[in-house]
Copies of this chain bind each other. A is one copy, B any other.
């Protein structure tokens, strides 16, 4: 019996399958420290237990994106080891903050399959849930990837494309229990701008840039126990470059967005996202944001803001697509998310 696995191919997925992903992970202060070393992350709610307590939480949670990466990483061996492309995200919601001492695991349900017309690959849709040691769902999201067929003779499955919300309605966002921004300390948080200061359509250039190193993205990607070999092995691609995990770009852009969005504290919804172009070491990452929507919430002092977060490797801000309707070559990421902000 072969002891290693080449990963799953398109014909290995059937709608309704539930994949129980391996390698649970207990988090500690170590993951928080590393997250702050890897990204210029400065949102106060995740940096200070005292600040978080002042907002009604038990302490500073693990960064929402770190929780996401940790859950995502567990799915890689079962979902995207043979993926040609990570096509999209939808309906992502964070349900519970993750604290030091929590143990995360993940499972995914196959919710859609569609073979490509070339017969060589297909698209697989999964809804992934991250669970803690009490089997509570801490976050869930839908992801779809293009996966190679292993056996080109395998019959095409019946096409099933799930209906996915373009945007999570604000009323469906989960506000952490007890969250209260009515005594929010804007000075400690770093900026005075509150929810009411942002207008739909407003664009923000986050100014700062970070040049990316090989060692850093590999440290990050391993920390999430993501095993996709293109991130680590220079012999895996003909040109000898390592592709940087898309989540590394997401976290870098989000951290850079502190400058202008310091009070967009908690990420609670992921409406969609595209990794528009590959990222490699040596690129200098910048970010800009656009306010897509705003909504009130039931929690005291807490508003929701829907943001487009764009990461680039150069060029001017606020340029997303060319005349051909395609992403410009310097655009790395186009993310659509909901965050919580003090009113």
Contact = CB atoms under 8 A, between A and B. Distances in A.
B22 A32 contact: no
Contacts of A198: 3
A56 B162 CA distance: 43
A33 B232 contact: no
A197 interface: yes
B216 A3 contact: no
Contacts of A204: 3-4
Interface in A1-25: 1, 3-5, 20, 22-25
B1 A197 contact: yes
A32 B50 CA distance: 20
Q: How large is the interface on A (under 10, 10 to 19, 20 to 34, 35 or more residues)?
A: 35 or more
A105 B185 CA distance: 13
Task: Specify how many copies of this chain sit in the oligomer.
Answer: 3
Given A22-B188, A77-B190, A216-B218, A42 B227 contact: yes
Contacts of A191: 3, 5, 22
A28 B24 contact: no
Given A28-B32, A50-B133, A219-B37, A208 B235 contact: no
Given A197-B1, A222-B36, A209 B187 contact: no
A103 interface: yes
Interface in A40-86: 40-42, 44, 47-51, 59-60, 77
Interface of A: 1, 3-5, 20, 22-34, 36-42, 44, 47-51, 59-60, 77, 100-101, 103, 105, 133, 187-191, 193, 197-198, 202, 204-211, 213-216, 218-220, 222-223, 225, 227, 229, 232-236, 242, 259-262, 284
